[in-house]
């Protein structure tokens, strides 16, 4: 288990601080993550990766000459926020455009896409290549739905080497896509990982059994089998990967292949080498020529006991890019010509933006909103462990800590805006930005969308009415559905959000006060959240483990119910006063 930490909610930030302190000659901290400490040539395409913390050396450990130019670092197992991704890309961008490349997970896609849209709006060329190497997460006919695991190393390395040869963005994208098309990975686990501060692992594997096809966020495996010998494990993984060769490769005989045997956290190097001796023999027996094999930790899952095998099938274009020199904190190859280290300006810190003027009525409403956010923060602090437990059943277990971080940051930003004289709209939009940035992940992005929609509709000019709140809630609903692409029945927060919005509108239209209408709507949301226990997930990380989630409510819907019920209590108190 993860034993060494201070406040679990600060674990990712404190990791990043220590990582940079130990590697200042290679990386430097920027808001949201890290970039190369060395100068990036003007006009060079920059390769930006990123994802949740807990996977070291992915993603920050792969930043340096010959590999990634920067990495956005999210919370444990949660995608970085759109603001983090944008900030890292802006800090690294050198005039040649940006290539985003990262694992294919819903939260990462939402946040990287939002950052990409923002960069493009500013006139910066930006493209994306998601990594989809995990053969266990979707069938071959649906490769675009597969997860990205340890094969990301291959894509980032090849794309960055292509950028350093001077290729333009379109060509770097083409090469990265070619690399992704020629990687396949499969993983196994013998025991689950434990989040900092958690009392139990995200999942357990029965003694003597092995989970096959697990995800790097602790998602349970797709099947179980008896734990084999080291040779037996090599035979299982090589057999699965040789059964699905890349398009255009008829047989392994005569092909050049890079095996990447990756430890997931607790399997020691000696064990990996025992497995690799058999992997090498099997590939050679199949007629493949092994090129530059890699054995070690490249994409972990905290303390998970497990391993994965990636096969990168080379061609004449990819091989020199793969074997080109690299110098990062954890991945070194050959000898690079060291670029000059950037001399950082002394950070002065940006002053908080002035709040816009607001009416007395709007400021009075802002006091109630701040009280609601404070109450939500308290409730989510108390519920964090339970939300994490629900999420771990078929997902990655980060929902509780993500909501906790988001609510704390949102309330702090709201209180600061209120103290500066902000009205209801500004308090909500400041909370939205802080929540999204601090929480990261899918839920952080969606709550940022919701709070911003509320704030923009309520504004700062007058006291919100019951009907204006209904309109704002409708805008938040539409924003979440449009951004997350989920529908009722997908087993997501939308299953609780839609009945909440409909019930609130009906109650207010029927003459109910806001407090009464909100209470009715909250009750309908709580009931709808509970009913998601009978649904199978059709979106997000829980989708590959749909059957495992039967009988358990969706954590996002459940937390939505907790939040709106808590706000109902605050509105009742405000109405009574």
- Catalytic (active-site) positions: 217
Pairing of strands 46-53, 98-103: parallel
- First-to-last CA distance in the chain? 48
Torsion sign across C-alpha atoms 309, 315, 318, 322: positive
User: CA-to-CA distance for 287 and 268, rounded, in angstroms?
Assistant: 29
C-alpha distances in Å from residue 215, one per residue of 154, 241, 445: 18, 16, 22
Task: Specify the 3-state DSSP secondary structure of 9.
Answer: helix
CA 283/CA 15 separation, integer angstroms: 38
Q: 334: which DSSP letter?
A: S
Quick one: tokens of 193?
């990982």
Q: What is the distance between the alpha carbons of residues 66 and 564, in angstroms, rounded to a whole number?
A: 49
Helices first, then strands: H and E counts in the chain: 16, 15
Question: At a CB cut-off of 8 Å and minimum separation 6, what does 332 contact?
Answer: 326
Say how many C-beta atoms besides its own lie within 10 A of residue 163's C-beta. 28
Residue in the block written with tokens 């007058």: 462
- Residue (of 420, 432, 545) closest to 491 by Cα position: 545
**Tokens standing for residue 408:** 């704390």
Cα–Cα distance list, 154 to 179, 183, 217 (Å): 7, 8, 19
**286 phi/psi in degrees, rounded to 5:** -80, -5
């Amino acid at each position: 288990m993860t034993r060494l930490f201070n406040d679990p909610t600060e674990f990712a930030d404190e990791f990043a601080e220590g990582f940079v302190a130990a590697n200042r000659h290679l990386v430097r901290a920027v808001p949201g993550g890290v970039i190369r400490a060395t100068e990036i040539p003007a006009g060079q395409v920059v390769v930006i990766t990123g994802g949740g913390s807990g996977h070291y050396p992915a993603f920050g450990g792969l930043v340096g000459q010959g590999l990634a130019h920067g990495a956005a670092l999210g919370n444990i197992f949660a995608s970085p926020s759109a603001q983090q991704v944008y900030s890292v890309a802006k800090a690294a961008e050198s005039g040649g455009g940006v290539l985003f490349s990262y694992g294919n997970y819903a939260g990462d896609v939402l946040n990287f896409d939002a950052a990409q849209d923002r960069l493009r709006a500013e006139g910066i060329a930006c493209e994306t290549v998601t990594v989809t190497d995990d053969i266990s997460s979707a069938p071959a006919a649906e490769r675009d739905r597969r997860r990205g695991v340890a094969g990301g190393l291959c894509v980032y390395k090849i794309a960055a080497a292509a950028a350093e040869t001077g290729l333009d963005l379109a060509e770097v994208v083409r090469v990265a896509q070619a690399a992704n098309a020629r990687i396949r990975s499969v993983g196994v686990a013998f025991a689950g990982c434990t989040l900092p501060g958690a009392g139990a692992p995200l999942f357990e594997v029965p003694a003597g059994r092995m989970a096959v096809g697990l995800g790097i966020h602790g998602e349970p495996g797709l099947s179980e089998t008896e734990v084999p010998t080291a040779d037996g494990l090599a035979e299982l993984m090589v057999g699965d990967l040789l059964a699905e060769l890349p398009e255009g490769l008829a047989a392994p005989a005569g092909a050049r292949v890079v095996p990447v045997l990756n430890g997931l956290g607790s399997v020691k190097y000696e064990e990996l080498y025992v497995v690799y001796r058999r992997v090498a023999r099997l590939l050679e027996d199949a007629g493949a020529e092994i090129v530059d094999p890699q054995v070690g930790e490249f994409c972990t899952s905290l303390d998970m006991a497990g391993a994965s095998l990636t096969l990168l099938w080379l061609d004449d274009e990819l091989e020199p890019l793969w074997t080109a020199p690299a110098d990062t904190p954890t991945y070194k190859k050959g000898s690079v010509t060291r670029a000059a280290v950037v001399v950082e300006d002394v950070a002065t810190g940006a002053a908080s933006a002035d709040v816009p003027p607001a009416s007395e009525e709007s400021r009075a409403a802002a006091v109630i909103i701040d009280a609601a956010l404070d109450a939500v923060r308290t409730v989510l602090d108390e519920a964090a462990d339970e939300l994490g437990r629900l999420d771990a059943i078929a997902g990655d277990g980060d929902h509780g800590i993500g909501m906790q971080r988001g609510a704390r940051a949102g309330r702090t930003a709201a209180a600061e805006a209120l103290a500066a004289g902000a009205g209801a709209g500004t308090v909500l939009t400041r909370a939205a930005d802080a929540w999204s940035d601090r929480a990261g992940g899918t839920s952080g992005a969606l709550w940022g969308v919701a709070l911003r929609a509320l704030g923009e509709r309520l504004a700062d000019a007058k006291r919100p009415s019951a009907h204006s709140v209904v309109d704002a809630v409708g805008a938040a609903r539409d924003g979440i559905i449009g951004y997350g692409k989920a529908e009722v029945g997908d087993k997501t927060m939308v299953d609780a959000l839609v009945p909440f919005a409909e019930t609130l509108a009906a109650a207010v239209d029927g003459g109910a006060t806001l407090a009464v209408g909100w209470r009715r709507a909250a009750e309908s949301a709580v009931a709808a959240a509970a009913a998601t226990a009978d649904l199978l997930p059709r979106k997000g990380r829980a989708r590959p483990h749909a059957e495992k989630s039967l009988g358990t409510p969706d954590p996002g819907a459940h937390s939505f119910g907790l939040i709106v019920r808590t706000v109902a209590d605050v509105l009742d108190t405000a109405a009574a006063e």
